[in-house]
Structure 1
Amino acid sequence: MPFIDIFTDYTVLDYVSDIVDILLVWFVFYKIIMLIKGTKAVQLLKGIFVIIIVRGLSSLFGLDTLGWMMEQALTWGFLAIIIIFQPELRRALEQLGRGRLFSRSYLQEEEEQEQMIESMTKAVSYMAKRRIGALLSIEKETGLSDYIETGIPVNAEISSQLLINIFIPNTPLHDGAVVIQKRRIAAAACYLPLSESPFISKELGTRHRAALGISEVTDSVTIVVSEETGAISITKNGELHRDLTLERFNEILRVELMGDTTNTSSTRWSFRGKKDNG
């Protein structure tokens, strides 16, 4: 009876308050997950879940020593997390102070995507005309943090001038790939995995093989400008599409990054350019 009385004392306002409370908690967790997505913190979060599971199993089966070790790891682990991820936590608090952590609207993100696509189109146009070799990989759902760590950190806003300057021959950062993460240039001179497919055309060089390689293991969209011919190519899902016009290149980026299909005259990956299935 007492248990039933608890619910009979509830008013409609109490139910609404509880539902709002739960939704707000889930919203905060969702924003936190989006904040750490594609970073080292994801692996750390997986490790914490493993420790919690082991702690629960040790209690269930009476493994006191193992349980005590896991308890200590959880107790002191959070202090270690604060120390190790101090820069990331400070950045998140700064964004919260500016009101930017939870206030990003769809229109803001769409505008940033638009600016990023225009900057990359201008940079690719400049480099293609002058036959400046370039390799850019854009992160989507699958994190590229492992490849970012192989390069030189940049952490800069995307601009056509900066992208062009990075790939100018004989400069320190021109050799390797630029990785774009969260609409920012995360790093330059990054190493991407080379495709080992035996069906790749012999005329393709290291940049194209690297572009195919990263597309085989992630869902990233990777752009290649040929140093020999100035041809523009894009890879995704293990497919290389070559000799794209600048208009088609811009159209494809809009489809892949913004889901804009208003100007597409065919299917998403049915290009007029030459297709090379790696």
Structure 2
Amino acid sequence: MPFSNYFEHFTVLDYLSNALDILLVWFVFYKILMIIRGTKAVQLVKGIFVIIVVRGLSGLFGLDTLSWIMEQALTWGFLAVIIIFQPEVRRALEQLGRGGFFSRNVMQEDQEQRDLIEALTKSVSYMAKRRIGALISLEKETGMNEYIETGIPLHASITSELLINIFIPNTPLHDGAVIIQRKQIAAAACYLPLSESPFISKELGTRHRAALGISEVTDSITIIVSEETGAVSVTKNGDLFRDLSSEEFEQLLAHELLKTESDSLNRWIWRGRRSNG
């Protein structure tokens, strides 16, 4: 068949079906990446990519032994992936069974965010009044499993009562940070990297330096309650929002988690609450 006549056998329906096929494959891969985001499986994907590249290059240059080794790695690696990353596979299948793999209940997610804001506002207000030191970090797009692994795993539902109890002085979990991941308390007593910025005020302690440090390497939102003064602060993207009232704190969380706009929020930002330490 002449090449010029090849495309004459394709109908509009064929083009549409091919486009739909490509979009569906892209969507499935996108959802898989969202599921493994922030887990060790991300490193696995990078490793598989390297193996595929080496396999292609070894075949191109006639490196038969290396090509055979890479072929075996790809052949048996699939079984190893299922065994090693069983929790991630189970979570993906659970989302598929709930219908959450291809759809997202926006109203339910919005309500979950509001419940999170309410629990955080209530617990932070309680601890601030009693000068109970606290450090709480909320994971966003950048995975925080590296820091979660340094603490004590909880995987508990988020309630104000649990958050307060964690930070009660002289309890096993009070020293360190709580990390919230995927609408649950992933771990407590976690170690966060300290900021090395020379511009941080000398009056700020280790909690503030840790909060600024994690905000410099991730896009997380981190909440600090000062043990000395009871002041509430928040860090994000290397910025420190200091001495927030309960209303301002709640507005900031709503602005970040619900993407709401607030005139009063803008006012206190421009009033000088925003700084890098």
Residue 206 of structure 1 corresponds to: 206
Distance 1:67 1:245, change over 3 A: same
Residue 129 of structure 2 corresponds to: 129
Residue 14 of structure 1 corresponds to: 14
Name the CA distance, whole Å, in 2 between partners of 1:16 and 1:174.
Answer: 58
1:29-108 alignment runs, 5 A limit: 29-108=29-108
Name the CA distance, whole Å, in 2 between partners of 1:21 and 1:199.
Answer: 53
Moved more, 35-44 or 94-103: 94-103
**Conserved in 1, the CA contact under 8 Å of 2:35 and 2:88?**
no
Name the CA distance, whole Å, in 2 between partners of 1:121 and 1:185.
Answer: 15
Distance 1:274 1:223, change over 3 A: same
Moved more, 34-43 or 54-63: 54-63
**Conserved in 2, the CA contact under 8 Å of 1:255 and 1:268?**
no
- In structure 1, stretches of 5+ residues that fail to align are none
Name the CA distance, whole Å, in 1 between partners of 2:220 and 2:246.
Answer: 20
Q: Note the C-alpha offset of 1:144.
A: 0.8
Instruction: Specify the code of the residue in structure 2 equivalent to 1:232.
Output: V
**Conserved in 2, the CA contact under 8 Å of 1:251 and 1:264?**
no
Residue 244 of structure 2 corresponds to: 244
**Conserved in 1, the CA contact under 8 Å of 2:195 and 2:212?**
yes
The SS at the match of 2:244 is coil
Name the CA distance, whole Å, in 2 between partners of 1:273 and 1:183.
Answer: 31
Q: Note the C-alpha offset of 1:109.
A: 2.1
Query: 2:230 matched to 1:230?
Result: yes
Name the CA distance, whole Å, in 2 between partners of 1:264 and 1:33.
Answer: 36
The SS at the match of 1:135 is strand
Name the CA distance, whole Å, in 2 between partners of 1:121 and 1:3.
Answer: 67
Instruction: Specify the code of the residue in structure 2 equivalent to 1:60.
Output: L
**Conserved in 1, the CA contact under 8 Å of 2:248 and 2:265?**
no
Name the CA distance, whole Å, in 1 between partners of 2:188 and 2:4.
Answer: 63
TM-score by length of 2: 0.93
**Conserved in 1, the CA contact under 8 Å of 2:133 and 2:226?**
yes
Q: Note the C-alpha offset of 1:2.
A: 5.5
The SS at the match of 2:249 is helix
Residue 269 of structure 2 corresponds to: 270
**Conserved in 1, the CA contact under 8 Å of 2:131 and 2:226?**
yes
**Conserved in 2, the CA contact under 8 Å of 1:36 and 1:42?**
yes
Q: Note the C-alpha offset of 1:67.
A: 1.6
Q: Note the C-alpha offset of 1:272.
A: 4.3
Number of paired residues?
277
**Conserved in 1, the CA contact under 8 Å of 2:223 and 2:232?**
yes
Q: Note the C-alpha offset of 1:137.
A: 0.8
Name the CA distance, whole Å, in 1 between partners of 2:246 and 2:14.
Answer: 58
Q: Note the C-alpha offset of 1:179.
A: 0.8
Query: 2:110 matched to 1:110?
Result: yes
Q: Note the C-alpha offset of 1:276.
A: 4.3
Name the CA distance, whole Å, in 1 between partners of 2:122 and 2:92.
Answer: 32
Name the CA distance, whole Å, in 2 between partners of 1:266 and 1:171.
Answer: 35
**Conserved in 2, the CA contact under 8 Å of 1:175 and 1:189?**
yes
Distance 1:3 1:106, change over 3 A: farther
**Conserved in 1, the CA contact under 8 Å of 2:58 and 2:64?**
yes
The SS at the match of 1:243 is strand
Name the CA distance, whole Å, in 2 between partners of 1:233 and 1:255.
Answer: 15
Distance 1:125 1:147, change over 3 A: same
Name the CA distance, whole Å, in 1 between partners of 2:267 and 2:249.
Answer: 12
TM-score by length of 1: 0.92
Residue 171 of structure 2 corresponds to: 171
- In structure 2, stretches of 5+ residues that fail to align are none
The SS at the match of 1:229 is coil
Name the CA distance, whole Å, in 2 between partners of 1:40 and 1:11.
Answer: 44
Name the CA distance, whole Å, in 2 between partners of 1:182 and 1:27.
Answer: 21
Q: Note the C-alpha offset of 1:198.
A: 2.4
Name the CA distance, whole Å, in 2 between partners of 1:5 and 1:80.
Answer: 47
The SS at the match of 2:125 is helix
Name the CA distance, whole Å, in 2 between partners of 1:190 and 1:121.
Answer: 21
Q: Note the C-alpha offset of 1:18.
A: 2.0
